Amino acid sequence: MSANSDFPLSSPGALSRLNERSREIFRNIVESYLANGEPVGSRQLSRILPMPLSAASIRNVMQDLESLGLIFSPHTSAGRLPTELGLRFFVDSLLQIGDLTDDDRRQIETQMQAASRARSIDEALAEAGSLLSGLSRGAAVVLTSKENNRLKQIEFVRLEPEKALAILVSEDGSVENRVLPVPPDLPQSALVEAGNYLNARVKGRTLAQVRGEIEMSRTAAKSELDVLTAKLVSLGLAIWAGPAGAAQNLIVRGQANLLEDVSAMTDIERIKLLFDDLETKSDVIDLLARAEDGDGVRIFIGSENKLFSLSGSSMVTAPFHDSQRRIVGVLGVIGPTRLNYARVVPMVDYTARVIARLFGGP
């Protein structure tokens, strides 16, 4: 640490007590990195800082910032780049969030309204991913549960003595089929009765709502249905939902955007690792599920999560809600750690709010 330190590194909360000069130097280092990905040196900083400082004074501050773990030098003769800790500090304390342009807002509104009228919910969400990746120039991800689709009709059809086909039709026109095991002595009338029982309850509701209602009225259901038919109803609903996480629908769009700003072999290797990350869908789903824990936009940077620990990437996410304010999905943008956070954060937030309206949300 230099004798002329701007802050005591050993005291608690040193990061939060950076003085104005140190913050300004640090902010310019980060903003330069976000703009062009290149290290910035003291001479360059002396030309762009709003205050008159010599290169030597700037170097002293940079040395202190490096001691705090906020910046580092990629090699001896280079300038400085922010560390992941530095990026986190910048995002949490110094980032000035911009606002979407009127053109961006209109484009998001217009395309999503057109998609929701002409297509199924899943197709509209895929359109949202394509739209978001195009506007952000990153890869977009959308995660929602198949249980959120509003249902229209359910039918059971016997395929073999011990197999039946469960057919689920949603209000958006999508159809899902599941093969389920049935007892060989199950009569055809039980298939019809199970379908009738469910159809009296499913129209306009989600699979989750139907399952919840039937669980709550299990005693009444047993009195209305014989044992075999009641088992068929429960099995059909369980088969559609699948095991935990199986009913999650992950959409990824715009991976090719990540190749646009690749200038070095190290960048190519990083992008390759990121593509590998995106192929590991279970890890992407796990990370997106973490964004469902609270309202508002969340930012994940680099090795803060195991998914991006090797590729050094960032993800900006926001959940979307239905009419009961329940979180029904989450969307986000993935890109390098030098993502344009000031632009991407409001973009993800606004798109999530537009999508929420498709689910009857606010």
- The DSSP code sequence of 240-255 is HH-STTTTEEEEEE-G
Q: Helix 227-241 crosses helix 188-202 at what angle (to 10 degrees)?
A: 60
Specify whether domain 148-241 bears CATH 3.10.129.10: no
**Residue 14 phi/psi, 5° resolution?**
-60, -40
Residue 215's pLDDT is what?
64
For the chain, the domains span 15-94, 102-138+254-358, 148-241
Find all residues with CB under 8 Å of 196, minimum gap 6, and list them: none
- Single-letter residue type at 260: E
Local confidence pLDDT in tens for the 362 residues of the chain: 333 434 333 334 556 678 888 999 999 999 999 888 889 888 889 888 888 888 888 999 999 999 999 999 887 667 899 999 999 999 988 888 888 889 999 999 998 888 877 667 778 888 899 999 999 888 898 888 666 667 788 888 888 888 888 888 877 667 778 788 888 888 888 888 888 888 887 777 777 667 666 666 655 555 555 665 666 666 666 655 554 444 567 788 888 777 766 554 456 676 777 777 666 666 677 767 776 666 688 898 888 877 776 667 888 999 888 777 777 788 999 888 888 899 999 999 999 999 888 777 66
- Residue 257: DSSP 8-state: G
The rounded distance, in Å, linking the Cα atoms of 100 and 106 is 10
Q: Helix 121-136 crosses helix 341-358 at what angle (to 10 degrees)?
A: 170
Torsion of CA 101, 107, 110, 111, to 10 degrees: -150
| CATH hierarchy code of domain 15-94 | 1.10.10.10
Q: Using alpha carbons, select from 7, 27, 25 the residue that is nearest to residue 68.
A: 7
Residue 11's pLDDT is what?
39
The rounded distance, in Å, linking the Cα atoms of 321 and 324 is 8
Name the CATH topology of 102-138+254-358: Beta-Lactamase (3.30.450)
Give, in order, the Cα–Cα distances in Å from 339 to each of 69, 111, 153, 160, 315. 20, 24, 44, 55, 9
Find all residues with CB under 8 Å of 178, minimum gap 6, and list them: 165, 166, 168, 236, 239, 240
- Single-letter residue type at 268: I
Q: What share of the chain is helix, strand, coil (3-state, %, to 5)?
A: 55, 20, 30
169: which strand partners? 153, 175
Please name the helix (run of DSSP H) or strand (run of DSSP E) that holds residue 65, with its range, or none.
helix 55-67
Mapped onto helix, strand or coil, the DSSP state of residue 10 is coil
- Contact at 8 Å (CB) between 22 and 7? yes
Residue 10's pLDDT is what?
37
- Contact at 8 Å (CB) between 242 and 147? no
